[in-house]
Structure 1
Amino acid sequence: MNHEYTPIEIGLDALGVVLGQDPLTETGINGRQLTSQVQEVNERIEYSMLEYPEIRTEILAAGMKVLLEVSSSLEHFREVVLPRLDRTVDNVAA
């Protein structure tokens, strides 16, 4: 039986996360400072979007999923993570 991958699973694969594993551990950011975690995920998102432009949306969605797991609160996500993610997307679009 074939498994049909979700857009998030496709994006996680492009980010280098093994399906079924903890994304924080797989990206090597577990235990690092929050600022460092956000920066690492943004760098992976940018690299992956440049490497695989045909699945940019999936990569962005998966990256946001990981960043939500990293964030200490929705307030932190809105005030700190989203502006950085916005810059990452702008860098790829340039």
Structure 2
Amino acid sequence: MDQKRIARRAGLFFLRGLNDLARNLPHPDGPAIRITAVVIGTGEDLGSVDLDTTNAQDLGFLASRRTPRPRTAPALVTPTGKRGLYLVGGER
């Protein structure tokens, strides 16, 4: 299957999923944004879906969670010149 057909199929499935989401879990205030899918390279317009802000924000959050984030290095502890551990002795 060539890349343009794969892109078309993926776009149609994406729009179908967005449409199902908007229909099955609508926000009481209604749709606020329109998401349109166009195949890059052919310019074929696959359609659009009107989606409410709650579902759009949830989708963005889920997409961000799937994105690998670089791990931050642990903060380096700089010695201050004082000992952090003191030995308290008794009789020997």
TM-score computed with the length of structure 1 as normaliser? 0.31
Instruction: From the two aligned structures, give the one with the greater strand fraction.
Output: 2
With structure 2 as the length reference, what TM-score do the two structures score? 0.32
**Structure with bigger RCO (C-alpha 8 Å, 6+ apart):** 1
